[in-house]
Amino acid sequence: MGRVEVTAAPIDALLARDDVLLIAHAGGSVDAPQETMYAYRRAVEAGSDVLELDVMVTSDRALVVHHDQTVDRLTDGTGAVADMTLAEVQALDAAYRFVAGGASGHPHGPVPAPELRGVRTGEVEAPTGF
């Protein structure tokens, strides 16, 4: 995956379309770890019209993109995003509980696949395009 050229249409133009919009929820959480640059890049390359994201504020007032109010369900950490510093959030492995095909972080879902676990922390070499 090389550099992705992104253009943004005004919301009025998107809403005026007669066709179906392809919206990548959390960057396409079925195909990549939620709300990561990897997920958003894949979503753009797949032709998504809209990238949905959630913005949280850390304890040191930095804006971060993370789906839940806590990091427990999706990462190797625990606690509320609002109680963590930017550095603490950045140190987490967002692919720790990722399951290709969906149900990432769901307590009754499939066991996470390890292929992306540890890429963020440098413990595992990133797959091609990551």
**C-alpha–C-alpha distance, residues 62 and 87, integer Å:** 10
Catalytic residue status for 106? no
Task: Tell me the residue type at 101.
Answer: G
Catalytic residue status for 25? yes
**C-alpha–C-alpha distance, residues 61 and 64, integer Å:** 9
pLDDT above 80: residue 110:
no
Which percentage of the chain shows pLDDT scores above 90? 36
Point out the catalytic residue in the list 66, 67, 106, 108. Answer: 67
The pTM assigned to this predicted structure is 0.76
Cite the beta strand spans of the chain per DSSP E: 23-24, 50-51, 55-57, 63-65
Which tens digit of pLDDT belongs to each residue from 24-51?
Answer: 999 888 888 889 988 998 899 999 999 9
